[in-house]
Amino acid sequence: MTEEQDHSNVGGIMIIAECGPAGPKPVLYELLGAACGLNAKLMGIISVALIGSGCGGYSSSCIHHGAHQVFLIDHPGLWPLNEEVYTGLLHELVVDLEPEIVLMPSTIHSKSIAARLASRLGTGLTAECTNLDIDLPERTLLQIRPARECSLMATVICPQARPQMATVRPGALRSSIPDFQRSGIVVHRPVLFPVDLRTTVLETLADRAARHSFGEGGIIVAAGRGIGGKNGLELVRELSDVLGADIGATRPVVDMGWLDGSKQIGLTGKHVKGKIYFAVGISGAIQHTVGIRGMDTIIAVNPDKDAPIFKEAHYGIATDMFTALPLLIDKVKQTMKVSRW
């Protein structure tokens, strides 16, 4: 890895990472995975803008995950995050590099910064994308996102203005696979704070809900409308308990008040990643399944053998949950007893 050198080739794809005290948000590596896929068609340069306080140590990780160059905007005064300051510094960088595409995570701060940045650049912005592609030979970014209350998927393009800008939902795309033999360039950018700063961050509050994410334990047991109500939910909870799993839900389950909105998975909820996903009483509508494609293994339990969920599942149990789940729970308990010996 070479430092303090600029790459002669501008343009390409730029990813703007959101960094906090614990480092970049993991969605950075999902954006790098997407950029690598897009760049297989564009054959350009992938850049990452690392902006924050103490974020320089992650430059190598960005390069290992696919970046050709990293632009480091690192200064103690960049935390806590001030959207006005970040927008100004990133605007200067984008103007200097003239990327074709700018990608950012769909987080609260990054969406706000993206909107400010797009306005300054005089270009369009598509928020909450769940997939991206390239249309050649025009090199047009196909920005795919849910529309009409998630009843359909829309493809948005920005045919004339540049850069083409999009924010991407965390968990919607697969992370890139690191190659620890890759080398790249790290460029340290100067940090100049505006003298006429209009906003000051007085205090930041930790997001308690963000401390634990779906799939952190590797397993999720999710409930759909087919669980029927309280009795079904008790079985879902019992399976979750014996597996040490998180509980998830489809939108109908949340709408009916059986589980709260923090458990919702899908287009209008969370995109999840992990090892095993139990889909219990879930029909398999696209609005839900688009949120579970980051799971390694999907196991569906549904009495309707023609339910769409079985097209997504790696394993299917086509029977009633009140028959299947007690057997699964007993099997897990037996296995746990054997493992203790």
> What would the pLDDT profile of 173-231 be if each residue is shown by its tens digit?
888 899 999 999 999 998 888 767 777 777 666 654 444 455 555 899 999 999 988 88
Q: Determine contact, residues 128/145, Cβ cutoff 8 Å.
A: yes
Q: Tell me whether residue 286 is annotated as binding.
A: yes
Find out whether 267 is annotated in a ligand binding site.
yes
pLDDT 10s digits, 109-143 = 999 999 999 999 999 999 989 899 999 889 999 99
Within the chain, what is the greatest distance between any pair of CA atoms? 68
Percent pLDDT > 70 in the chain is 89
Percent of the chain surpassing pLDDT 90: 54
* Residue 88: per-residue pLDDT: 92
Distance from chain centroid for Cα 287: 16
Calculate mean pLDDT across residues 9-18: 84
Asked if 259 and 233 touch (Cβ cutoff 8 Å), the reply is yes
The arithmetic mean of pLDDT across residues 253-274, rounded, is: 86
Residue 4 reports pLDDT greater than 50: no
Identify the residue with better confidence: 189 or 290. 189
Is the pLDDT confidence value at 297 over 70? Answer: yes
Average pLDDT over residues 241-247: 90
Task: Please check if 302 is assigned to a binding site.
Answer: yes
Q: Is 251 annotated as ligand-binding?
A: yes
E strands along 218-311, which residues? Answer: 219-223, 246-249, 273-280, 294-301
**Please, what sign has the CA dihedral across residues 76, 82, 84, 89?**
positive
Other Cβ atoms less than 10 A from the Cβ of 319: the count is: 14
Q: Structure pTM?
A: 0.70
Task: Kindly state the average pLDDT of the residues 250-259.
Answer: 90
Query: What average pLDDT score do residues 290-296 get?
Result: 85
What number of residues does the chain have?
Answer: 341
Is 160 marked as a binding-site residue? no
Mean of per-residue pLDDT scores for the chain: 86
The predicted structure's pLDDT at residue 6 = 43
- In terms of Cα–Cα distance, which of 322, 340, 336 is closest to 244? 336
pLDDT at 338: 47
For residue 148, pLDDT beyond 80 = no
Phi-psi region of 302 (alpha: psi -120 to 50; beta: other; left: phi over 0): beta
Residue 123 in marked binding region: no
Q: Which helix (H) or strand (E) holds 63?
A: helix 59-64
- 39 labeled binding residue: no
58 three-class SS: helix
- Mean pLDDT along residues 11-19: 92
| pLDDT tens digits, one per residue of 49-76 | 999 988 888 999 999 999 999 999 998 8
Question: Does 44 show up as a binding residue in the annotation?
Answer: no
pLDDT-based confidence at residue 333 (cuts at 50, 70, 90): confident
Is 284 marked as binding a ligand?
A: yes
Has 225 been labeled as part of a binding site? yes
- Is 281 annotated to bind ligand? yes
Q: What is the pLDDT, as a whole number, of residue 208?
A: 44
Annotated ligand binding at 185? The verdict is no
| Domains by residue range for the chain, with CATH | 2-205 (3.40.50.620), 210-340 (3.40.50.1220)
